[in-house]
Each structure stands twice: as C-alpha cells, then as structure tokens.
C-alpha cells in the first residue's frame, strides 16, 4: 500500500529512506477519519509505530509549507517507558523531521539533567522523554508545556506496568486541554482504556495488532533441551542460525551476566543489557551491536520493548518468559519491517506444559525439535565456507603471487587443509547436545543422592599443566561451590577480569560442594590477591592458602575494628 499524501518535507524524508509503502498502522492513523482526532492504537511491536505517529501529528505541528510551527517552546511531546526506546524515537524523528526545521531533544534518566535543561532553554519544538525525567523538568520549570499541540504515549501499557501512572497523570494534567493525545500500546487492558477515557476527547480506537495472531514474519521454534544443557543449546543455536545480530533473553541480571561471560569465553562477541547498567554502559552495548563490533546481546526483559536492533534475525529465550505477552514482546525484536526472523524457545522437559500453554495463549504455532547438533552445524559450516568472501572475492596481484609461491612449496591438499583450519579457528566451537525427546517430564526437586555426594569437579584449561610456570604456584579458595552454582565456565573469565591476569596464569580449578579452590602462578599471585580486593560486583569471599592447604595466617587472623575482606566480583547467584 502506498503512503497517503503527507507534507512535502516529510515526503522528501520518506523518499530518502526508501519508504515507498505504508505499514497497516501507518495507513490507519493517516486515514481521513483519524485526521486531527485523539486515537488509541493497538499495534504489534515492530509495526512502524514511531513513523506512524510522527506522520500523524505532522498536520498539527507543521505549517502549510511543511515547516515546524514558530516558537521556542515545545509543540509536541513523546513519552516512552525506557531510555533506550526514547533515544530510538529521537533518532527516528530526527530523520523524519530533518527538512522541517524542528529541533528535537531527548530527556531521559541516566543522562546529565543540566545538559538537558540547557538544550530546553535554547529552544526546542519536539521533546522525547521518559515519564520521571519529564516530570522533573516540568517541576523545575525547565520544560514549558503550555504550548503543546500534540502528546504521544508510546508503549502506554508498559509505562503503567512499570509504575509510571502517577508521573503520566501529572504530565497530562499539566498539558493544555485542547491538545491532541495519541496513545500507542501493544495491548489495551482496562487500565489503558480508563486512562484514555480520562485524558482523551472522543478517542478513535484503532486495532491493527492482528488479534491473537503471532507476527507473520517470525518463525517460532520450541527447542527441547536436556537438563543442564541450556547454555550448550544457546551456543549451538547461535552457530546454526549465524544471525547478523541475535538477542538471548534471560529472566534475571545474574543469569545475563553468567551467560554473557560464558559466550565470551566461547569466542562470541557478546554484550549485555540489563537494568543495572548505567546509561553510558547501555549506550556502549547498543552502539557495539549497531556498528557490528558485537553480534550477540544477552538481555533481561528491559530490552524486550521498543528496542530496534539492526538486522536482528534471531531471538533465543534461554529461560521461558513470564507470560505470553512477554513472549511476543521479546520475539518482536526480530521479524521487523518486513524482514524474517526466528524466535527459539528453550524448553526443559519439566517446563513443557507451561511452554505449550504460553504458545497457545500467544496465538502462535511453534515447530518442536531438538537443539542443532554438531553434525548439522558442521555441514552448514562447509557450505558457508564455500560462499565465504575469502574464496569468492577476486584476488589481487600480491595475493596471486603469494599463492604461486605457496603452490611451489606445498601441495594443493596441504594448502586446502590450512585454509580450513584458518576458517574454523575463527568460529566458536560447537557443543555436543542431546535431544531429550517427548518423554514424560522429570520431577523437579533435589539432585540425586549420587550427584550430591559426587567428588569435586576438576577443571583444567587446555594446556600443559606440567609447565614450569606452575612450579610452586599459589592456591586460593572461594567461598562458593556446587551448592551456589559455581562453574569454571564463568569462574575462569571472572577471575581473569577481576584479578587482572590471563587464562595462562590459572592452573587447576576444583569445585567442591561449598567451596572452590584454584591455582595461580607464583609470579602473579601477590598482585592477583591485591586486585581481587578492589571493590565492584557482588560478594565472594577469597582466601589465599598456605602450603598446608589452610588459610595463611595473614589472611585468617582476626583484625580489630576492620571487617574481614570480602572481594566482589560479577557472578550468578
């Protein structure tokens, strides 16, 4: 469907961004019956809502020539639930209103409020922000909203879920009575309907969410996983799909940190995104994904709404979402703007019934199967290598000269084998996984007795432990073990990062039921102990052990008026 007629300045911006056809939500809000009216719009994530309301409010804030209305105070206010979504909206409106002369400013938590106030005082026509920060600027008289013509609530249901009702009502009550109000929400529960009835005038209801039908551009896959093989399944899915950008969702911050460290250790360029990060850290993660320095984002549900990652082709639910709505919002990070995407839900046997009910409630059909196997990924790697630019791009003169030199000294088979090794070296290793099948779910509960009484797990990074560097190495002890999910897969990168050492400096790691012991080369042991005492992260108690295997006197002796040292490091709980 072609774009309805709009102002010349916006039509120019749309053409520059190759927008030739309107999405259903864009067509709906630009229809003649919606012109100039308050609207309540129910539309799925990824449906083009930002451009839709950017076009919808244009008739209220642009003159006949397509220029922004004169004045130094804002004429339009966009309210979004999260910092990431607000900043994304600012970027979208910046290109859409590029030729209108509009000045657009974002006001979000985590940014310097003084800088925002200076921008507001310099004159601005469109403000995009989060409820708490906008209210703060209004109360401090830095944001003048007396001339507002249009107000947009983006992801209104999410703002209410996050507890922003009081801030929203404060802002709406402070705006002019004759403003135009547009509410956009994935769902329209009673709370949204009540908000619309109170703060809108004869609002038109527009429903383009497709009812209970899942997003047509998303392929849902339910992946059966064996106990304790979730991380292995994530690794194999990332290798199998090989998406330009992928998001892996976990339910807690601790699980996000753990999985990100695991993926980094396996060779994936992975960043994390959760509510505990500062705005600067979140911006860095998003920028790394946008410019291609990172291809995997491990996130909590803070990233499930409104975040638009370029070329996101894969969403993995490492842990089941809390409900069907969360499943759809998470999955909506892929399959956007007409692109295809995959949403993979990892389902342990004990969670199968819950997963089936969630898929039914979400109105989506998922294909069931086991995780990708090493053999399947190996076959795909062969096909991908044959299509790799390393082989398909035309060689230069220097390349040809070097190739002739190599062929004079090596056989074609030797050179081919070397090329295969080079190609494989840049790929993360795949995992051996099993498909637990459709058998009866296992009972939840304690570990079997034989597992609880098992000997300590012993881990040695893949190198020669008989090297001279470990003669007389120092031993340390952590106060966590199997009972608190201690695992060398995340302990090793944590110790390297926190202690300022490399993997080559760490010897054996032995995980017991309630403690973990590990070896560090003697050359770096003293500095390692100092680095581990620096603050940051969560609590892990660390002690250096003497030759007798007991804590050294200097470590264990009680000290007056000074608490025993507790090192902090990022780890799952």
What does the angle CA 187 – CA 193 – CA 199 come to, to the nearest 5 degrees? 125
Q: Contact at 8 Å (CB) between 68 and 124?
A: no
The C-alpha angle with vertex 181 and arms to 179 and 187, in degrees rounded to 5, equals 170
Indicate whether 285 belongs to any domain.
yes
Q: Does 231 lie in the same domain as 200? A: no
Q: Is 69 a member of any domain? A: yes
Q: Are residues 237 and 314 in the same domain?
A: yes
Q: Do 242 and 106 lie in a common domain?
A: no
Q: Provide the pLDDT confidence category of residue 512 given band limits of 50, 70 and 90.
A: confident
For residue 565, name the pLDDT band (cuts at 50, 70, 90). very low
Do residue 185 and residue 230 come from a single domain?
Answer: no
Question: What is residue 209's predicted lDDT score, i.e. its pLDDT?
Answer: 55
pLDDT band at 303 (very low <50, low <70, confident <90, very high): low
In the predicted structure, residue 214 carries a pLDDT above the cut 50: no
- The reported pLDDT for the residue numbered 157 is 81
- Per DSSP, helices labelled H in 162-318 are 165-174, 190-199, 230-241, 253-265, 279-290
Under 8 Å between Cβ of 511 and 482: yes
Instruction: Work out the pLDDT band at 94, boundaries 50, 70, 90.
Output: very high
SS3 content of the chain, % helix, strand, coil (to 5): 40, 20, 40
Predicted pLDDT of residue 305? 61
> Is the same domain home to 284 and 369?
yes
Same domain flag for 43 and 101: yes
Asked if residues 480 and 571 have their Cβ atoms less than 8 Å apart, the reply is yes
Position 153 scores a pLDDT of 94
Give the rounded distance of the alpha carbon of 120 from its chain centre.
31
DSSP three-state, residue 80:
coil
**Of 362, 179, 333, the residue nearest 246 (C-alpha):** 333
Q: How confident is the model at residue 393 (pLDDT cuts 50, 70, 90)?
A: confident
What is the C-alpha to C-alpha distance for residues 194 and 209, in angstroms, rounded to an integer? 20
Whether 448 shows a pLDDT value over 70: the answer reads no
Q: CB–CB of 224/349 below 8 Å?
A: yes
User: Which pLDDT value is given to residue 457?
Assistant: 52
Residue 570: name the closest of 542, 540, 541 by CA. Answer: 540
Closest CA to 242 of 431, 434, 427, 46: 427
Does 169 score more than 70 pLDDT? yes
**393 in a domain, yes or no?**
no
Does 70 fall in a domain? yes
CA gap 291, 189 in Å, rounded:
38
Interatomic CA distance for residues 95 and 186, integer angstroms: 25
Same domain, 198 and 230: no
Is 279 inside any structural domain? Answer: yes
| Per-residue pLDDT at 212 | 41
Residue 87 has pLDDT above 70, yes or no: yes
Helix (H, G, I), strand (E, B) or coil at 40: strand
Rounded Cα–Cα distance for residues 509 and 520 (Å): 10
CA–CA separation, 553 and 544 (whole Å): 9
Q: What is the pLDDT of residues 24-71, one digit of tens each?
A: 888 888 888 888 899 999 876 667 889 999 999 998 999 988 899 877
Whichever domain contains 508, its CATH number is 3.30.70
Tell me how far apart the alpha carbons of residues 433 and 380 are, in angstroms, rounded to a whole number: 17
Q: Which domain holds residue 514?
A: 449-569
Q: How many helices (H) and strands (E) does the chain have?
A: 23, 21
**In this structure, what DSSP letter does residue 371 have?**
P
DSSP per position, 30-60: TSGGGTT--EEEE--TTS-HHHHHHHHTHHH
On the question of pLDDT at 238 being above 60, the answer is yes
Residues 200 and 269 occupy one common structural domain:
no
Check if the beta carbon of residue 287 is closer than 8 Å to that of residue 273. Answer: no
Residue 134 pLDDT level (bands cut at 50, 70, 90):
very high
35 with 125, same domain: the answer is yes
Residue with tokens 């003649």: 32
Least reliable range by pLDDT among 161-175, 240-254, 393-407, 547-561: 547-561
Calpha distance 353→263 (Å, rounded): 29
- Residue 419: pLDDT band (50, 70, 90) is confident
Query: What average pLDDT does this structure show over 197-220?
Result: 75
| pLDDT in the model for residue 523 | 84
Alpha-carbon span 162 to 82, nearest angstrom:
10
How does pLDDT run across 457-468, given as a tens digit for each residue? 555 444 433 344
pLDDT at residue 79 in the model: 95
Q: How sure is the predictor about 155, in pLDDT bands with cuts at 50, 70 and 90? A: confident
> Are 568 and 536 spatial neighbours (Cβ–Cβ below 8 Å)?
yes
Which residue has better confidence, 548 or 15?
A: 15
- Provide the pLDDT confidence category of residue 471 given band limits of 50, 70 and 90: low
Residue predicted with more confidence, 428 or 540: 428
Tell me the sheet residues that pair with 377. none
d(CA 536, CA 103): 40
For residues 522-539, average pLDDT = 76
For position 173, what pLDDT does the model report? 93
Clarify whether residues 91 and 236 are in a common domain.
Answer: no
pTM (global) more than 0.75: no
Does pLDDT of 210 surpass 80?
Answer: no
Q: Which of 376, 394, 424 represents a domain boundary (last residue)? A: 376
Q: How many domains does the chain have?
A: 3
> What confidence score (pLDDT) does residue 290 get?
85
CB neighbour list of residue 342: distance below 8 Å, 6 or more residues apart: 218, 219, 221, 241, 243, 313, 314, 315, 334
In whole numbers, what is the pLDDT of the chain averaged over residues? Answer: 82
In whole angstroms, what is the distance from residue 433 CA to residue 498 CA? 31
CATH classification at residue 106: 3.40.50.300
| Claim to verify: residue 200 and residue 345 sit in the same structural domain | no
Determine, yes or no, domain membership for 410.
no
CB contact at 8 A, 125 and 62: no
Q: Is the pLDDT of residue 281 over 60?
A: yes
Task: List the single range of 199-203, 282-286, 351-355, 489-493 with lowest mean pLDDT.
Answer: 489-493
Examine the domain organization and report whether 202 and 222 are in the same domain. Answer: no
Neighbours of 171 (CB within 10 A): 23
pLDDT at 440: 44
**335, 350, 376: which is the final residue of a domain?**
376
User: What does 132-175 look like in DSSP terms, one character per residue?
Assistant: HHHHHHHHTT-S--TT--EEEETTHHHHHHTT-HHHHHHHHHHS
More confident residue, 308 or 386: 386
Q: What pLDDT, on a 0 to 100 scale, did the predictor assign at position 554? A: 53
Helical (H) or strand (E) element with 459: strand 457-459
- Residue 4 has a pLDDT of 62
Domain boundary among 351, 376, 401: 376
Angstrom distance (rounded) from CA 133 to CA 87? 13
d(CA 538, CA 276): 12
Q: Which long-range contacts (CB under 8 A, 24 or more apart) does 450-453 make?
A: 452/513
Structure tokens at 473: 């190495």
The larger pLDDT score, comparing residue 556 to residue 411, is at: 411
Report the alpha-carbon distance of residue 382 to residue 423 in Å, rounded. Answer: 10
Q: Higher confidence at residue 421 or residue 304?
A: 421
Name which residue leads in pLDDT, 554 or 167: 167
31/56 Cα distance (integer angstroms): 9
For residue 402, being part of any structural domain is answered with no
* Residues 6 or more apart whose Cβ sits within 8 Å of residue 151: 76, 77, 79, 171, 172, 175, 179, 180, 181, 182
What is the average per-residue pLDDT within 157-168?
A: 84
- 408 is a domain residue: no
Spatial separation of the C-alpha atoms in residues 549 and 552, rounded to whole Å: 9
């Amino acid at each position: 469907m072609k774009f309805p007629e709009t102002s010349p300045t916006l039509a120019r911006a749309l053409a520059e961004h190759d927008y030739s056809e309107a999405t259903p939500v864009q067509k709906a809000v630009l229809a003649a019956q919606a012109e100039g009216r308050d609207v309540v719009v129910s539309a799925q994530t990824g449906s083009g809502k930002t451009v839709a309301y950017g076009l919808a409010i244009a008739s209220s804030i642009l003159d006949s020539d397509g220029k922004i209305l004169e004045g130094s105070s804002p004429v339009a206010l966009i309210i979004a639930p999260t910092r990431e979504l607000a900043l994304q909206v600012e970027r979208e409106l910046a290109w859409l209103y590029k030729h209108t002369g509009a000045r657009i400013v974002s006001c979000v938590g985590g940014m310097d409020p003084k800088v925002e106030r200076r921008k507001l005082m310099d004159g601005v026509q469109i403000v995009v922000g989060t409820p708490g920060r906008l209210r703060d600027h209004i109360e401090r008289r830095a944001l003048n909203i007396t001339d507002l013509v249009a107000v947009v609530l983006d992801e209104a249901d999410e703002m209410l879920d996050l507890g922003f009702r009081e801030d929203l009502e404060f802002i709406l009550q402070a705006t002019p009575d004759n403003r135009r109000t547009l509410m956009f929400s994935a769902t329209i529960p009673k709370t949204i309907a009540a908000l619309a009835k109170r703060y809108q005038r004869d609002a038109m209801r527009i429903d383009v969410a497709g009812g209970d039908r899942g997003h047509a551009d998303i392929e849902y896959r339910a992946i059966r996983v064996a106990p304790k093989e979730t991380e292995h399944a994530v690794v194999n899915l990332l290798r199998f799909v090989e998406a330009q950008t992928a998001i892996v969702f976990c339910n807690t911050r601790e699980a996000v940190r753990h999985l990100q460290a695991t993926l980094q250790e396996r060779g994936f360029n992975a960043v994390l995104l959760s509510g505990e990060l500062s705005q600067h850290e979140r911006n860095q993660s998003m920028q790394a994904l946008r410019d291609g320095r990172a291809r995997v984002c491990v996130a909590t549900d803070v990233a499930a709404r409104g975040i638009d990652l370029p070329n996101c082709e894969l969403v993995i639910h490492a842990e089941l979402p809390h409900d069907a709505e969360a499943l759809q919002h998470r999955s909506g990070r892929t399959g956007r703007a007409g692109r295809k995407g995959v949403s993979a839900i990892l389902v342990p046997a004990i969670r199968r019934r819950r997963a089936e009910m969630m898929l039914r409630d979400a109105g989506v059909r998922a294909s069931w199967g086991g995780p990708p196997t090493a053999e399947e990924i190996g076959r795909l790697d062969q096909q991908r290598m044959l299509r790799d630019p390393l082989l398909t791009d035309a060689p230069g003169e220097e390349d040809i000269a070097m190739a002739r030199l190599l062929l004079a000294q090596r056989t074609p088979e030797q050179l081919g084998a070397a090329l295969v090794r080079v190609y494989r070296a840049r790929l993360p290793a795949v995992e051996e996984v099993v498909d637990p099948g459709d058998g009866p779910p296992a009972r939840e509960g304690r570990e079997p007795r034989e597992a609880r009484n098992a000997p300590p797990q012993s881990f040695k990074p893949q190198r020669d432990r008989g090297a001279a560097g470990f003669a007389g190495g120092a031993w340390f002890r952590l106060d966590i073990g199997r009972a608190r999910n201690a695992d060398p897969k995340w302990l090793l990168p944590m110790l390297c990062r926190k202690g300022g050492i490399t993997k080559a400096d760490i010897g054996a790691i032995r995980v017991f039921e309630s403690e973990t012991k590990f070896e560090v080369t003697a050359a770096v042991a003293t500095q390692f102990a100092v680095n581990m005492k620096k603050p940051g992260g969560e609590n892990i108690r660390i002690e250096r052990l003497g030759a007798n295997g007991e804590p050294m006197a200097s470590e264990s002796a009680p000290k007056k008026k000074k608490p025993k040292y507790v090192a902090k490091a990022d780890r799952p709980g």
